[in-house]
Amino acid sequence: MSTPTTQSAPHLIRGKMISPFKAVLKASLISASLSFGVGAATVETGPSADIAPTAPPITRSKGLLPLEDLRTFTKVYDHIRRGYVKEVDDSKLLEYAIKGILSELDPHSSYLDASSFDDLQMHTTGEFGGLGMEVGMEDGFIKVVSPIDDTPADKAGIEAGDVILKLDDKPVKGMSLSEAINEMRGPKGSSINITVGRDGKDGPIDLVLTRDTIKVKSVRSRVIEEDFAYIRIAQFQLSTGEDMVNSVQNLLDDNPGIKGLVLDLRNNPGGVLQASVGVVDAFLEEGLIVYTEGRAPNSQVRFSASEGDISNGLPLVVLINDGSASASEIVAGALQDHKRAVIMGTDSFGKGSVQTVIPISDERAIKLTTALYFTPSGRSIQAKGIEPDILVERARVTALRPRSRVTEADLSGHLDNVKGEKESKSADRIAQQEKESKAIFNRDNQLFEALTLLKGLHIFAQRPTMKKQSTLAQATQLEPETNVDDGDLTQ
């Protein structure tokens, strides 16, 4: 499945594309071997050789492409060029060959034509046209990695894991990923019918989406329940790290009584590697954040935190799910390894590779997997994901309607509260619970659990104060009176 990926910043490589493919083919018929280096390819010609089927076998050397394989390729190329039902020019066949090579490497390496290259650049800046969902290829179908917040896909109810079966009654089976994406694009205001399959549903779901210009705001923040900050990162763009720092700083300046933070990375498909480093750095005083390992010398990179925690050590809970991929997993993994945050939710997607965008002309580039990344403790997330510290499945929680039991406040002649606190009658409790049924835990149980944990951590942090009060009571040698609890009178 091809998903939006974590990538390093594009290399500024502007070499000439090796376009005269026929010359390469001619050289291969003489005798050729290709030796590949970083960012370059050279052709070494040798003495003339016969290409008859009885030619002696070629000894395979590491890093060299055998002549026999080149012969096979040229034969296939020639058959397609001369015998395919429709004439296809050489440049188009060469482009197909490049696409084929990259698509067979792994699900995240790909060839970017002019349109795809522009789309990638727009994704990193946060503005592009379409429906607003990250998609990938799986078993010939287009699968939704995650819908983007506040987009047509999100508003229509598209969910992570949905499989797109049809686009305007055209079966998706057999389409390439780029073809399907092109079908989903269109002018703002135009509509498209999408049929999706979803686990747990008996049949396909038909949806009508209206295309729009997608402007993704990567960071959103607000204060919830008065004392806690909520930060949502939808995807990692070039400016995400800086945007998050500014958002958190503004919240803390306006609300100095903040007791804890929730960082929501659910359904965040990833993005720019450096942006994830910036987010982690904001909460760590020091230490390794992530490191990468690859074959090329420039793929061995380590990122470490600089001094300063913008939250001054406030308790932090990070929410993840199976739509949290790549850069999201870097953040969750680093904060988990440093014991700086409690990770809550479900297992993440498991994309532990880094893609580098390498321009090969002014309008084309390749996105190539060049490294694997590892958390500070050396964990590889590839095909495994981040396991949360506390597993919380997404569910709809409904409060049980309380029985109309009599409380002390309902009893005739009961004593008033000596502190003048408001009394709690059974009718008041029922009304309060009905009000709470519309609260956070009914809309988002995972966020509710994160807030509950933060409240518990805050209460636990008050223990030194309680200890001082206990010491004071012992010093004054107060002897407690013997209390009698009536208990349940209906025995």
Residues noted as catalytic: 326, 337, 351
Contact between 346 and 288 (Cβ < 8 Å): no
Q: Which whole-number Å values give the CA distances from 436 to 399, 421, 430, 448, 454, in the listed order?
A: 8, 21, 10, 12, 19
> Sheet harboring 342-345: ordered strands across?
219-224, 228-233, 260-264, 316-320, 342-345, 390-391
Contact between 142 and 175 (Cβ < 8 Å): yes
Name the nearest CA neighbour of 109 among 3, 267, 16: 3
The CA-based dihedral angle spanning residues 61, 67, 69, 71, taken in that order and rounded to the nearest 10 degrees: 180
Q: Is 440 left (phi over 0), alpha (psi -120 to 50) or beta?
A: alpha
Name the nearest CA neighbour of 193 among 201, 204, 203: 204
Reduced to 3 states, what is the DSSP secondary structure of residue 207? strand
Reduced to 3 states, what is the DSSP secondary structure of residue 228? strand
Contact between 367 and 112 (Cβ < 8 Å): yes
134: enclosing H helix or E strand: strand 133-138
Please name the residues in contact with 474: beta carbons below 8 A apart, sequence gap of 6 or more: none
> 151 — phi, psi (to 5°)?
-120, 170
Q: How many CB atoms lie within 10 A of CB 219?
A: 22
Q: How many CB atoms lie within 10 A of CB 341?
A: 21
